[in-house]
Structure 1
Amino acid sequence: MNSINDTIGKSSQAFASHPGYRRMFAPNELTLGIFLPLRFYDGDMGVLVGQADVVRDIDRHGFAAVWVRDVPLFDPAFGDAGQVFDPFTYLAFLAAQTKAIALATGSAIFSLRHPIDLAKASATIDQLSGGRLVLGIASGDRPVEFPAYGLEHAERGERFAQAVAYFRQLISSKTPIIDSPLGRIAGAEFLPKPVSGAIPLMVTGSSRQSLAWIGEQADGWLTFPEATHTREGPQRLAEKIRAWRKLIPDGGFRPHMTNEWIDLVEDPNHPRTPLRGGYVLRTGRKGLIDLLGEWRNADVNHAALGIQFSLRPAGEVVQELAEEVLPHFPSHQGHSDFKVPW
């Protein structure tokens, strides 16, 4: 049986040729992504009409990534339906609509689904997209979903760690031998394999794990940004990132990601102003550029921006971000020699 550490070592080397990873991440640099949906579901699927057209523009403009959320059930008490479409089905659709942009989950709930199903969907999208899938993963934050799956919410942390181990062994071995509380495999092969041999797993928050576990096991770390309207927030974020990176066993590069919901106003000089208790940032583009620069100085490598709360049309916001903000934080070369034959 492959050890988890052996699998991690092999995966880290494989990311040097992983198109999605390469497009998003490089040491001491920050790139930009866009979170979907572009407008929150409010009881009418019409808010999603035309979203794929904007995603094609996002790809054409040269953003690093487009992100989709994973929310199996809408809990009205939670107040946010999140990503209405199944994330894997939707990413497969977007893979056919785009050419270069990384396709990221923020975040796939590893505690709810079986790792075979997660691996099958992930490796399929990775192949269909030419190696552009980057998996943000999490243990889940909506308690109503767990009894619906027949699972205990209190056990989500343990199940998350088990699913990560199972997933990695499954996709990395030709004929894996797996003996896990989540299932046993011997004498069977998993297909398809990822394009570059591995799929990066970016742990979200703590996912009910220790910081030491995240330092050892995660291929990257996605966290909330702290306050975004003052310099103190990025400074606190920098401290958190430094503490995590000290726990990476080989001291090698592993990327950090963060995100913010923004209301980008037309006035470029509008100050960074927190809304909804700090959940949303209203700002002009100059304030946003300053924030992104502070994040880059804090050693953040990718920023995913959600524009669901913007009062302006989504296409207009994307256009301004592309013309005025993206040139300061360009994407990296993420193409590979892999040609998509499908």
Structure 2
Amino acid sequence: MTTRISEKAANVFDKLAQGAFSIGVELPLDNDWARYDSAQGAPFGVPDMSKHHERIQLADQLGFKAAWVRDVPIYDPNFGDAAQVFETFSYLGYLAAITKNILLGTAAVVLPLRQPWLVKKAAATVQKLSNNRLILGVASGDRPVEYPLFDVDYETRGEKFRQSLSILQEGEASLSHGMDLLPASPQPPLYVAGLAQQSPEWVGEHMDGWLAYPGTPRDHVQRVQLWRNIAGDKPYVSFIHLNLLANDDAPITRHRFGVETGVKGLISELNAMREAGVDHIGLHFRRNSLSVEETMQRIADKVLPHFHQ
């Protein structure tokens, strides 16, 4: 099945879709996985957020295209990942106020655990405050322990996802005469993480972009082809868990969800991603051995000029 949509994305406010291959960052901007020491007593996966303000502003100033935030309501030590700690939409409002150009994406809001009208209003608020920089990534979720806390059935999360999405996309049609949802702002582009318990064809028809799980360039070749078959040229986004080494010539060593390498290896990996058909890569620094500031500066100086116009 090939979608009828031939534009880069159906949503004209999708600023990510309007450019060529680009590089962003995944929050939190911390390297807590590399620094983790159980003797210090802090739980694994809980980042140090003390420098988050300065680091997101640096990412914005250096020209990274997008900043992606997670939606993790409850920290579960079995998963070992607290994401960026702060509640997603509250944090996005804060980020909108302290940045100027960087796009703000969610990867991804777990729709079955949230009231859809409040998601719609929160997204409209962030879109308005950020001057239309929001990309609303959504998902059905994958942490079963959270669902009983929200009184939501894990097994029917796919159906609840579809119901919530219909409100995000067409909810105004159900409002009585004179009612409206404020603030008035363009609907942000809607990307989906994975398949959200839906068929590929359904996802390709209803979503503006795909947030694909990390993988090798070879992995992405097959996934991109599937996406192009069902969604045309809508954006395909993925992520790399990066450990950028001080030696620019250090070869690529692969680890789960990413690579350890120098600047030249990173350029090679990103070129391979672009050739595979990936439109955007978010860089994840939590296992990075160098400081986040030094890493972002090195990438801005030596890597971004190869890809950003």
TM-score after normalising by structure 2: 0.89
Q: Using the alignment, how far apart are the partners of 2:268 and 2:237 within structure 1?
A: 17
Aligned to 2:270: 292
C-alpha distance 51-200 of structure 1, shift in aligned 2 (>3 A)? same
C-alpha distance 14-193 of structure 1, shift in aligned 2 (>3 A)? farther
Aligned to 1:122: 123
Q: Using the alignment, how far apart are the partners of 2:228 and 2:47 within structure 1?
A: 43
Q: Using the alignment, how far apart are the partners of 1:211 and 1:46 within structure 2?
A: 34
Q: Using the alignment, how far apart are the partners of 1:269 and 1:207 within structure 2?
A: 40
Is residue 25 from structure 1 mapped to residue 12 from structure 2 by the alignment? no
Divergent runs of 4+, >6 A: none
8 Å CA contact 1:224–1:259 kept in 2: the answer is yes
8 Å CA contact 1:139–1:207 kept in 2: the answer is yes
Q: Secondary structure at the match of 1:311?
A: coil
- In structure 2, which of residues 290, 296, 299 is the aligned counterpart of residue 318 of structure 1? 296
Structure 2 matches for 1:215-226, cutoff 5 A?
215-226=204-215
Structure 2 matches for 1:192-341, cutoff 5 A?
192-194=183-185, 197-227=186-216, 234-248=217-231, 251=232, 253-275=233-255, 278-330=256-308
Structure 2 matches for 1:120-159, cutoff 5 A?
120-159=121-160
Instruction: Give aligned pairs, total.
Output: 294
Percent identity over paired residues: 36
Q: Tell me the alpha carbon deviations over residues 229-284 of structure 1, each in whole angstroms, 9 at most, x when there is no partner.
A: xxxxx133122211222123xx4x31000001111110111111123xx2342111
Structure 2 matches for 1:94-113, cutoff 5 A?
94-113=95-114
Runs (5+) with no aligned partner, structure 2:
34-41
8 Å CA contact 1:33–1:66 kept in 2: the answer is yes
Q: Using the alignment, how far apart are the partners of 2:305 and 2:76 within structure 1?
A: 39
Q: Using the alignment, how far apart are the partners of 1:271 and 1:80 within structure 2?
A: 28
- In the TM superposition, what is the alpha-carbon distance from 1:72 to its structure 2 partner? 0.2
CA RMSD of aligned residues (A): 2.2
Q: Using the alignment, how far apart are the partners of 1:128 and 1:26 within structure 2?
A: 21
Q: Secondary structure at the match of 1:202?
A: strand
Amino acid at match of 1:94: L
Runs (5+) with no aligned partner, structure 1:
178-184, 228-233, 332-342
